[in-house]
Amino acid sequence: MGYFFDFHLHSCLSPCGDNEMTPYNIANMAALAGYDIIALSDHNTTRNCPAIVKAAAEADIVAIPGMELTTMEEVHVLCLLPDLEAAAELDRIVYQQLPPIGNDPEIFGHQWVMDEADHVLAEEERLLTSATGIGLYDVAELLRSLGGVALPAHIDRPSFALIANLGFYDPQMGFSAAEISRQCERPQFAAEHPELSGLPYLIDSDAHDLTAIPDAAYQLELSEPTAQAVIDIIREGQLLGRL
C-alpha cells in the first residue's frame, strides 16, 4: 500500500527551527497536508522524538524517530531509527561527540525540548548544529548497529551535503540510498554525477517552519506504516527511483 511520507522535519529543538515547530503543531500540520508517516529529524538530537510520536498518534498519523547528524566533515546525514530506545542511544552517542560549544539564542534561536502537548521540558544549552566527531564513513555502520538506516541528506545541495563538501561519492561509505531535495533537477544532477548512477533516492522537505511543510506528494509502498517497514524498504532500495 502507498503511504505519503516526509522524513525530514525539524522541530523547535533545532536552533534553526521556528519556535512554532512544536511537536503538536508539526503532527497536526502534517496530518492536514495529507501525510501518513513522518519523521522528526532535528540536528544532532532525538530528544523531541518521544513527543512527536505521541502527538502524531493523536493526529492519526505515524511518526518515527530520526536525526539529522552532522559528521566531522560537516556533511548532513539523515538517520532513521526503529524505536525510541534506539533513538535515545543514538542521541547519547552523538551528544558525546558534540563539541561543548554553547548556543547563543540571540543568534541561532532557542533549542526547546517539549512534550506532546507543547509544554517546555528543558532548553538545550549546547549548540546542536556543530559538527560532531563522527566520521562520514562510520555513520552507516553506526545506524545499522542500532537497527536503523542512514542516508546522505539533501545530496544535491551546495552546502552541508556529501557531494558539495567532499566532491565525490564512495560506495564504501555504506549508504543504500540518498535523500534529494524537492528542488533537485534530477536528470541534470544525475548527469553531472555519474558516480551516483543507480543510487535509490527519497525526496523530503527539510522543513524548518510550518509554512514549509508542503502538501503530500510522494508515496512509498510499505507493508505497514511503521519505522521498521521504512527502514527495510530503504535498505532494499525500493524507493521513488534511482539517480
Q: How confident is the model at residue 15 (pLDDT cuts 50, 70, 90)?
A: very high
Mean pLDDT computed over 163-173: 95
pTM for this predicted structure = 0.97
pLDDT of residue 181: 96
Across the chain, what does the average pLDDT equal?
Answer: 97
pLDDT of residue 177: 97
Adjacent-strand bridge partners of 122: 113
**Contacts (Cβ under 8 Å, ≥6 apart) of 142:** 90, 93, 134, 150
% pLDDT > 70, the chain = 100
**Number of domains making up the chain:** 1
% pLDDT > 90, the chain = 100
Contact 6, 219 (CB under 8 A): no
Contact 61, 37 (CB under 8 A): yes
d(CA 68, CA 197): 24
Q: Which CATH number covers residue 125?
A: 3.20.20.140
Mean pLDDT computed over 92-114: 96
Mean pLDDT computed over 65-72: 98
**First-last CA distance in the chain:** 24
d(CA 180, CA 186): 9
Which residue do the cell numbers 517546555 mark? 120
The residue range of the domain holding 163 is 2-242
pLDDT of residue 32: 98
Which residue do the cell numbers 516526509 mark? 6
- C-alpha 170: how far from its chain's center? 21
Q: How confident is the model at residue 22 (pLDDT cuts 50, 70, 90)?
A: very high
pLDDT of residue 153: 98
d(CA 39, CA 226): 11
Measuring CA to CA, which residue among 92, 91, 105, 99 is closest to residue 16?
105
